[in-house]
Structure 1
């Protein structure tokens, strides 16, 4: 994934300034270094792959000496590199490569995405505890909190699926952790991973239980008022 994004960046198929403007501070670049890098990118896109400090200074409000120093620091810090290139005639020349910058930028983007996913997951997990306490009408016991944590961390049940199992237990009139654990076990055994699959499976299960109840009524036997997942 990272190599593909870097390749797209090098080919100019992605708008770079927006990403650079939002992330340059996180890359420990200051505004002057950012402008210098943008000018190098512009020169490269125009066919000048090795702009001199004089050419860069002419576009900026810094001296030639300062441009030279900044270029040296950016190379040392791994934002740009100088590469050897050979013409068709075998003449050696140098050019700047901003591939290291793209790699650093992609790393930062992936890191931000990971942090965002972790925060979203944490929010979802917190929401699960809140939903359980609301349905149970009381704070969860330490054992119940541990069970919830095991469902998410050890059994790798998605918080959305756990909340769906909670709703299923409420509809079945069996609001306890053993019953919910059995629902999750059955869903995992049947490969249920999405909320839609859980809804369909629960609907089919309740339909089967209703048919069993009607059969018992026809035989003049007592009916069962709830749908018992523990019988599965």
Structure 2
């Protein structure tokens, strides 16, 4: 027998296993024995045997047929595998194992992880937001100011990034106070500003408008009534 024959033999024995199953089976409360047995069921299925017996399974594992039976029963009870009716041929009914419950649980685990990641990222953003405000104000925030920040996020649903942009706008405008920032956020929400890029663009247009008004004020004659200066708080 040539080496190429062994390589071909190994290729025939390959099965596709989701990497997430290997990283998450512990968090799904699956033991190594349960995991390997599930993989054996999957392998049998890919080879055309959808309902391997405990004896067939134990032939590939370091456990008895009785142990395989007990583990299969436990997996069914815990909702990782189920026995369903297969497609009948010639009027003969037969049963098979379905791993759909396992994949459903794996997908649920994936969604929980993504949700937790978003929660963690939100917590980091909020913590960084408070730090940014305290740095710009040069002091710890008061309870009322902390409550205002929380209200912007929880009640008004402003993204922390947008709140940071409003803080930056207030610093550039030389009007560092919560009332001014609140007005900026109100104007942005009213005008559909939802991204940092939109906020920057809106801020540039606002400052250009300010600059134009200042130029007009300098050019008018002393006796002429001055053009009102545009201010966020006067909107």
Which 4+ runs in 1 deviate beyond 3 A? 220-224
Unaligned runs of 5+ in 1: 1-14
- 1:230 aligned to 2:230? no
Structure 1's 39 and 147: CA in aligned 2 closer, same or farther, altered over 3 A? same
- 1:92 match: secondary structure: coil
How many residues are aligned here?
A: 217
Contact 1:217 1:223 in 2 (8 A): no
- Give the structure-1-normalised TM-score: 0.89
Aligned 1:9-24 pairs, distance under 5 A: 16-24=17-25
Partner of 2:13: none
Partner of 1:165: 166
Contact 1:172 1:228 in 2 (8 A): no
Partner of 1:51: 52
Contact 2:125 2:160 in 1 (8 A): yes
- 1:123 aligned to 2:124? yes
Moved more, 81-90 or 113-122: 81-90
Partner of 2:31: 30
The one-character-per-residue Cα deviations of 1:138-195 (angstroms, maximum 9, x if unpaired) are 0001111110000000000000000000000000000000000000000000000000
RMSD over equivalenced CA pairs, Å: 1.8
Distance in 1 between residues matched to 2:47 and 2:216, nearest whole Å? 81
Partner of 1:203: 204
Structure with the greater relative contact order (CA < 8 A, sep ≥ 6): 1 or 2?
1
Contact 2:83 2:96 in 1 (8 A): yes
Contact 2:162 2:199 in 1 (8 A): yes
Unaligned runs of 5+ in 2: 1-15
Greater Rg by CA: 2
The one-character-per-residue Cα deviations of 1:64-92 (angstroms, maximum 9, x if unpaired) are 11111111111111110001124231110
Contact 2:54 2:69 in 1 (8 A): yes
The one-character-per-residue Cα deviations of 1:28-85 (angstroms, maximum 9, x if unpaired) are 1110100001111111122111111111111111111111111111111111000112
Distance in 2 between residues matched to 1:223 and 1:119, nearest whole Å? 52
